[in-house]
Amino acid sequence: MSSVTNQRSQKLILIFIDLAFIFLSYILAFRIRFENIEHRNWDAFLSLSPWILLIGLFFVTMYELYTVDRKSKWDIVRHVIIASTLMMLITMAASFLFREFALPRSVILIAYIFINIFLICCKLVIMQLLSIKSGIVFFVGDIEEKQKIVEQLKFQFGKRMKVKYSSSEESLDRIYQTLQYVDYVIIGSNISSEVKSKIIFESVKNQKIVYVIPDFYDLLLSQSIITTIDDTMAMAVKPFGLSLGQQLVKRLYDIVASFIALVVLSPLFLLISIIIKLDDPTGSILYKQKRLGKYNKEFTIYKFRSMVEGAEKNTGPILAGENDPRITRVGHFIRRTRIDELPQLFNVLKGDMSIVGPRPERAYFTEQFEKDLKYYSYRNTVKPGITGYAQIMGKYTTSVDDKLRFDLFYIRNYSFLLDIIIQFRTLIVLFDKSKSEGKKEKENIEPKKQRSLHY
């Protein structure tokens, strides 16, 4: 059986185990809560159980609870708690709204505790078993790319994994020979299409799991339509950006979601405003800054002020550092939790931004990035967003090149469902400190050299 088939089977088995634990948690909750279970409560549970399992399946797959790849122990705990909390809230809402499905809240709360215990323990045991697993990862590409991701390879594939390296300049026969003795193959972006296709073919033929770091050209061709010119196959490349229908659906959702969010979060807005004023009575509550939106149209973005007033008066536009002295005491908290971004809901309501999209950038940095990356301007074919694919997949310190790959992938593969997935996974980012840390002080802050977006 191939490695790919093995992975798919393992994924299905782990999803089944997670759902079994969710079901078991409710059974135990009933046994603990009631000595003799009343028929009406048990019937309600049986009626609701398919929906409970369906909700569970949604969040297990949404937060990828079926895998421990690229996750630390804290990542696992965070993912499980967020997923189980959302499951509990939706189950409570369903139980309240549909009386025929009514379940005692005590049962739901007890089940919630068991779900967290079972799933967290299960994931940690799996992680421990995988940590003693050995194997070989084979990276084919240039030395710069290899140095950049080698530590991440260890993190993703396990500490005992060995990493073999081969330059793209080496002969294909030598690369093919090495392929026979490895478990995973990773192909860098700076390899010609011809060589890349040959390595992929040989890897798949030998039933290896293959990862390809895409070139920007590859991303531009994604979602192309296969057609013919006479009897010759051709790829019709779709225009970059969203269709009119997609734009209308996205805008309608943005208006409804931003309006509801502003109403629901209004007490939080008031509280944060008071705290900012108490921390710095002379400063403003909101920070306004010019950013570039769709087609580089300039607009004013709103944020809760997290730095001292006039932070860039003497320095000019620079990126925030990890221990930046310009950040206020309150600023550290609201930046880490992304609360400072909430006023951008007004930008969404106005139509300057969307809930989901590439993060808006300042003209100063955009000019620099467009000089370095010829594909950078493609990200401005859609409205910028409060959150985006680059934010859930990368970190604050992710390079411009990699963030651009994520942004282009999002635009090319846009769907309303993808927007919903990004919003749910943004909850993970809010509780992940590494996602919001600034650049290290020792690194150069000039855009050309350090190549990290001012997000």
Residue found by looking up tokens 């260890």 in the block = 154
Q: What is the pTM of this model?
A: 0.80
Provide the pLDDT for residue 1: 44
> Which residues have a Cβ under 8 Å from the Cβ of 250 and sit 6 or more positions away?
242, 354, 416, 419
Residue 45, pLDDT score: 74
- Give the pLDDT of residue 446: 43
Task: Read off the DSSP letter of residue 42.
Answer: H
**Nearest residue to 26 via CA among 117, 114, 111:** 111
The separation between CA 253 and the C-alpha centre of its own chain, rounded to angstroms, equals: 20
Strand partners, 321: 439
Residue type, 362: R
Q: Sign of the C-alpha dihedral, residues 395, 400, 406, 410?
A: positive
The ranges assigned to domains in the chain are 3-131, 135-213, 244-450
Three-state DSSP state, 135 = strand
Q: What is residue 149's predicted lDDT score, i.e. its pLDDT?
A: 75
Q: Provide the pLDDT for residue 82.
A: 95
- The Cα–Cα gap between 130 and 408 comes to 33
Q: Return d(Cα 181, Cα 156) in angstroms, integer.
A: 20
Contact status, residue 206 vs residue 180, Cβ threshold 8 Å: yes
**CB-based contact 342:438 (threshold 8 Å):** no
pLDDT of residue 247: 95
Integer-rounded Cα radius of gyration of the chain: 25
pLDDT tens digits in sequence order for the chain, 455 residues long: 455 566 778 889 999 999 999 999 998 998 888 777 667 667 777 778 888 899 999 999 999 898 877 677 888 999 999 999 999 999 888 877 776 667 788 889 999 999 999 999 999 998 888 766 667 889 998 887 877 777 676 666 655 678 888 887 888 889 999 988 888 899 988 888 888 889 999 998 888 889 898 888 888 888 788 888 878 888 888 888 899 999 999 999 999 999 999 999 999 999 999 999 998 888 899 999 999 999 999 999 999 998 877 666 666 666 665 566 778 888 888 888 889 999 999 999 999 999 999 999 999 889 999 888 888 999 999 999 999 999 998 877 788 888 999 999 999 999 999 999 999 999 888 887 666 555 544 443 344 444 444 44
pLDDT at 444: 39
What secondary structure letter does DSSP report for 360? P
How many residues are listed for the chain in this entry?
Answer: 455
CATH 3.40.50.2300 for the 135-213 domain, yes or no: yes
Tokens of 210: 């293959």
Residue 104 in contact with residue 153, Cβ under 8 Å? Answer: no
Helix axes 244-264, 266-279, angle to 10 degrees: 70
Residues 6+ apart with CB under 8 A from 106: 29, 33
Q: Which residue is associated with the tokens 């509990």?
A: 88
DSSP string, 405-417: HHHHHHHHT--HH
